[in-house]
A and B are shown apart, each in its own frame.
Chain A
Amino acid sequence: MLGPGGRVRREPMAESVGAGPASVRGIYEALDYGPAREGVGPAQAWLDAHGRSLGHFIDGKWSKPEGRETWVCKSPATGESLATTLQGQQEDVEAAVQAATKAFENWSQLPCHARARHLYNLTRMIQKHQNTFTVLESLDTGKPVTEARVCDMPLIVRHCYHHAGWAQLMGVEMRGWEPLGVVSAIIPSGSPLVLLAWKVCPALAMGNTVVALVPPTAQLSALLLAELCDQAGLPSGILNVITGAEALAGILATHPAVDAVAFAGSAELGRSLRQVTAGLGKRLSLQLGGRTPVLIFESADLDSAATGLTETLSSHQGLLLGGGAPLVLVQEAVAGALVQRLKARLGALRVGEALDRTTDVGGLVDEVWRAALQAHVDEAEAEGAEVFQAWAALPAQGSYYPPTLIIGADTTSRCIREEVFGPVLVVLPFRTTKEAIALANSTPYGLAASVWTEKLPLAMEVACSLQVGTVWINGQRMYDAAASFGGCKESGFGCNGGKEGLYEYMRPSWESRIHSRATDMNYKTFAASSSAAPFPVPGQAKDPPSGPTQEAHRPSVDRTYKLYYGGAQKRPEGLSSRPILDSTGHLMAYIADGSAKDIRNAVEAAHKAAPWWRGRSAHARAQVLFYVAENLGLRQMELTAELAALMGVTPEQAAQEVELSLERLFHWAASCDKHGGALQDTPLYGTNLLLREPLGVLGIVCPDENPLLSFISLWAPAVVWGNAVIIIPSQRYPLPALGLCQVLDTSDLPGGVLNVLTGDRDHLARTLALHQDVQALWYFGSQQGSQLMEWASAGNLKRTWVNCGARRHWEDPAQGAGEEFLSQATYCKSIWVPMGDVFAS
């Protein structure tokens, strides 16, 4: 491996294997690796037992409806045909969902321990057939068999055990939560079974039933899994697997009886699922791709970093689990040394048949990737980057691509901006830590990253500064059932694994199942402009104004309500106002009518404030909230009177709302320094930290009910967990919120952290939802508005939390201050910190 390499295209070398019968004598001289093909017996026997023709697995049995097109499932590496599968149709989705719905009735009612036993039995069954799974997985996805054996299968088994455990503990640990119902799991072509296990295990453990849709081209292992569920004695219909094209995904996801959609796959399909499920009240989690930045500092163990990087090339072209090909950011001082090591390592990789135990890098999962891959490489080279390819390692035949290194591409280059699927490493130098963090964060993705350095303070600071769901310190590709794994930004949302992952498949007990129908709405025009808000014509109101009357000779001073952003009262860009009427229909005040431009300004102000705010300690953020409460207390009387007049409620009712609002501020201030993260129990020798990270800039749209309490209940948790917030108070009753702005001014809340904009609720919300630099949106308004928000959020895949028009009792702590506020205000970041330096004696 020490020899020079280069992009000289050489004829692939035939090992002594290929060149006639090898002899001990010949091998003794060459000392090459011979073939070490994995025995495929058990997997082939399973396929044979099914006549090499597989159907769907629904309700505990095989189902082969008439009239379905069949698909020949081929091994991507060899082109060998393995079996035929069905191209599912709508009726198959129907049958599977029905089976799951029926199974849910019993499965969700089983005692926790019974579910735990079932899952334990399933785990044991999987372990008994590990070899079959391994080989099948390698056969139909082209994943190197060693990779499947050493990495994937233990992970799947671990997931099953771990979640059998959660099933047992559900009654204690998840009190106040209920299963969702029918979960649909949608998995892409060529993906490892791990991905499915990641969805199925927690869903089943928490009492849901599952319909999995897998592509007909691959993923025979999913069918085997379903069959084994039955063999292990699990109730029929709790896991149904159907095969079918992508087009079926939308049909399954929007099925009225499906409660949740757990998707893994391309961003494109993810976006489309977000849009088609908009407004349907379904829980959606998206596990999309990404680019894994690997940051290598001059204080790193360069050889280990180089080894780790080459190891990622064997992970089945990095598909999904770690995102696309890694983006290697290396400190300039050691860039040369790293590249030298990488070249040597790439040359020693073994590219070849997936079933050979010594294969590091298998074939391309899909031949269509080759053109895209080649285009990336050629373009980078044309732009002046150095390209190194280890041709020598390539077998003579098969859809292989040489391990490739692209050095010094521009940040504008597509090989840096886009996902690349193939054994390619792109190396980019950086100068300082600050620059490294900026480069790593300047992608739309946020899946995972690794950091290589022997300096602990550097490693931890970088890990905390990266906007990703997982950070590996001095390592790569560590996964575990107890550790959360999920993306942020355009890598999707929703986390897998650990206790956090369970919430994806549960709803608070007080919440009823929402099965709303989408409205046939025109997304282009809905709330596209601010609705006119005419002020009342004198004389048209029925009753005389109530409340304090003006003194005849001394008019009161006009009170002007403005927008509040960037820490100051701002006039609206549109220079117009909206009237606010009291409970009797009389004009009470004019408020600013905010527009899209005001949203734009507010988002900018929020982004300015966000980094500093999130960097404050939890204690400091809590202090600010307590101070807001204190100042609110001073104005309690005034707010009560205003609320009573505005809403037409009794002074007692108004007083109670103000009182509860104050309590809620205390609640979130108190929680802030209690739930920042946890340790996750993984098998790693070292530590796995779970951090709750703020999302960034969060938009909140408030409901009309309890205009003060709901307003505070919403922004307080978001702000206290380190987000900068743009909040649109109740459209009808915005005055209490605006009154609070003055309180904020005097409470040390830094400018830009909380921005309050009034106006046409849905129009402002629409602008927020379409904004590419808003990371999450909470919407508590109409069903139609909810639908629009979910649809519009697909642009940057911002996280949404909408109520689909359902009312929430804000006075009830479970509804107004539950655990879900915390999980909605943050994303989970797992930091893997391996340890060890104690050596020998």
Chain B
Amino acid sequence: MSARNPGMELDLGWISKVQVNQPAVIRHAEQIQTRRTVKKDWQAAWLLRAVTCIDLTTLSGDDTPSNIHRLCYKATHPISEDLLRVMDMHDKGITTAAVCVYPARVADSIKALKAAGCNIPVASVATGFPAGQTPLQTKLDEIRIAVEDGAREIDIVISRTLVLTGQWEGLYEEIRQFRQACGDAHMKTILGTGELGSLTNVYKASMVAMMAGSDFIKTSTGKEAVNATLPVGLVMLRAIRDFYWKTGNKVGFKPAGGIRTAKDALTWLMLMKEELGDEWLKPELFRLGASSLLADIERQIYHHVTGRYAAYHNLAMA
């Protein structure tokens, strides 16, 4: 991860000035999809880069040590060695960026990764994920425990209540405390954008989260009705850029929820490239929160290398 974001004083004047025109943002999102594309070798290379940005995720009630173990192994070997070798990419150490699990599964993950001899970080969701409707003290304890168990990244969720009722100071204070509780662990702040009511609120919440010291801002938990959409992404990237222009601090972006196809992954990468530039195309500043995405990318790469479409059973399961 890149240098940490120290945050800044809450600047309500700045936040209040924001204007977001939704139809125009939607149009811009459509434009990016029609006007940018990558083909052939470019597509393969971009997809491999996408793999390195994935937070390979499982967040289910039925997670057990065995599927966590499989997930971690897949994270360390996301693309079959044979395929990588054909593309001369086998020595690039391609892994996913992290694995992302519930706090109770952090220890399992650390163990599995250690067994696989891999040093990628474990990210843990926290603070009453996904709804964030637990008492503050519980949320803070949850973060501390996850960090004690070895999580190096914490994906916190914000209280949507505070956003919808306009309590920006409260939101700022809460995230500040989360950040303190994270200690050295990097903090990704999940906005739950599908529940924020408007794109204007998405911008404001993004900005407050960055002012409060988030290292990443993240769209969704994956549990809301609407998750990572391009218009939401555009607005969050605007906020990241504005924050950078103002403070010089680079904050990362993580779309999550509903990203299932290789094409989705490419679109998000292009969005990053267009809006923030090449620096934001690396795992230090860009993550894709996804579970089934990797399988589709691997299939596309299989096709690129062999010229044949893969059956799911041709590739290892996560």
Residues from chain A with a CB closer than 8 A to the CB of B20 are 301, 304
A31 touches B23 (CB 8 A): no
Q: When chains A and B are docked, how far (Å) is the Cα of A35 from the Cα of B43?
A: 11
Q: When chains A and B are docked, how far (Å) is the Cα of A337 from the Cα of B23?
A: 21
Known: A1-B274, A2-B241, A474-B24. Is A841-B45 also a contact (CB below 8 A)? no
Q: Is the interface of A mostly helix, strand, loop or mixed?
A: loop
Q: Does A585 make an interface contact (CB < 8 A)?
A: no
A839 touches B198 (CB 8 A): yes
| B23 touches which of A33, A35, A307, A836 (Cβ 8 Å) | A836
Known: A24-B88, A474-B21, A835-B23. Is A358-B35 also a contact (CB below 8 A)? yes
Residues from chain A with a CB closer than 8 A to the CB of B277 are 1-3, 348
A304 touches B40 (CB 8 A): no
Q: Does A340 make an interface contact (CB < 8 A)?
A: yes
Binds A, one of B25-33, B64-72, B178-186: B25-33
A475 touches B27 (CB 8 A): yes
B24 touches A304 (CB 8 A): yes
A66 to chain B, nearest CB (A): 46
B284 to chain A, nearest CB (A): 14
A27 touches B42 (CB 8 A): yes
| A840 touches which of B28, B225, B238 (Cβ 8 Å) | B225
B88 touches A23 (CB 8 A): yes
Digit string of B186-210 for contact with A (CB within 8 Å is 1, else 0)? 0000000111111100000000000
B46 touches A27 (CB 8 A): yes
Residues from chain B with a CB closer than 8 A to the CB of A27 are 41-42, 45-46
A24 touches B89 (CB 8 A): yes
Q: When chains A and B are docked, how far (Å) is the Cα of A184 from the Cα of B229?
A: 48
Known: A1-B275, A348-B274, A475-B27. Is A454-B19 also a contact (CB below 8 A)? yes
Q: Does B273 make an interface contact (CB < 8 A)?
A: yes
B24 touches A475 (CB 8 A): yes
Q: Does B48 make an interface contact (CB < 8 A)?
A: yes
A33 touches B226 (CB 8 A): no
Residues from chain B with a CB closer than 8 A to the CB of A417 are none
Q: Does A111 make an interface contact (CB < 8 A)?
A: no
Q: When chains A and B are docked, how far (Å) is the Cα of A27 from the Cα of B48?
A: 10
Q: Is the interface of B mostly helix, strand, loop or mixed?
A: helix
Q: When chains A and B are docked, how far (Å) is the Cα of A474 from the Cα of B275?
A: 20
Digit string of A324-355 for contact with B (CB within 8 Å is 1, else 0)? 00000000000000001000100010000000
Residues from chain A with a CB closer than 8 A to the CB of B313 are none
Q: When chains A and B are docked, how far (Å) is the Cα of A359 from the Cα of B195?
A: 37
- For B237, give the chain A residue with the smallest CB separation: A303
Q: Does B49 make an interface contact (CB < 8 A)?
A: yes
B276 touches A34 (CB 8 A): no
Q: Does B308 make an interface contact (CB < 8 A)?
A: no
Q: How many B residues touch A, CB cutoff 8 Å?
A: 53
A836 touches B35 (CB 8 A): no
B76 to chain A, nearest CB (A): 19
- For B279, give the chain A residue with the smallest CB separation: A2
Residues facing B in A801-819 (CB within 8 A) are: none
A60 to chain B, nearest CB (A): 37
A301 touches B40 (CB 8 A): no
- For A29, give the chain B residue with the smallest CB separation: B45
- For A27, give the chain B residue with the smallest CB separation: B45
Known: A146-B35, A304-B21, A304-B24. Is A841-B275 also a contact (CB below 8 A)? no
| A34 touches which of B42, B229, B281 (Cβ 8 Å) | B42
B44 to chain A, nearest CB (A): 5
Residues from chain A with a CB closer than 8 A to the CB of B45 are 24-28, 31
Q: Does B278 make an interface contact (CB < 8 A)?
A: yes
Q: Does B137 make an interface contact (CB < 8 A)?
A: no
B153 to chain A, nearest CB (A): 23
Residues from chain B with a CB closer than 8 A to the CB of A836 are 22-23, 26
Known: A25-B88, A28-B48, A31-B49. Is A837-B41 also a contact (CB below 8 A)? no
Residues from chain B with a CB closer than 8 A to the CB of A837 are 22, 198-199
Q: Which residues of B contact A (CB under 8 A)?
A: 19-28, 31, 34-42, 44-46, 48-49, 87-89, 92, 193-199, 224-226, 229, 238, 241, 244-245, 269, 273-279, 281
List 21 A–B pairs whose Cβ atoms lie within 8 Å, in order of A's numbering.
A1-B274, A22-B41, A24-B88, A25-B87, A27-B41, A27-B42, A27-B45, A27-B46, A31-B45, A33-B36, A35-B39, A36-B37, A299-B19, A301-B19, A304-B25, A311-B31, A358-B35, A686-B23, A834-B23, A840-B196, A841-B194
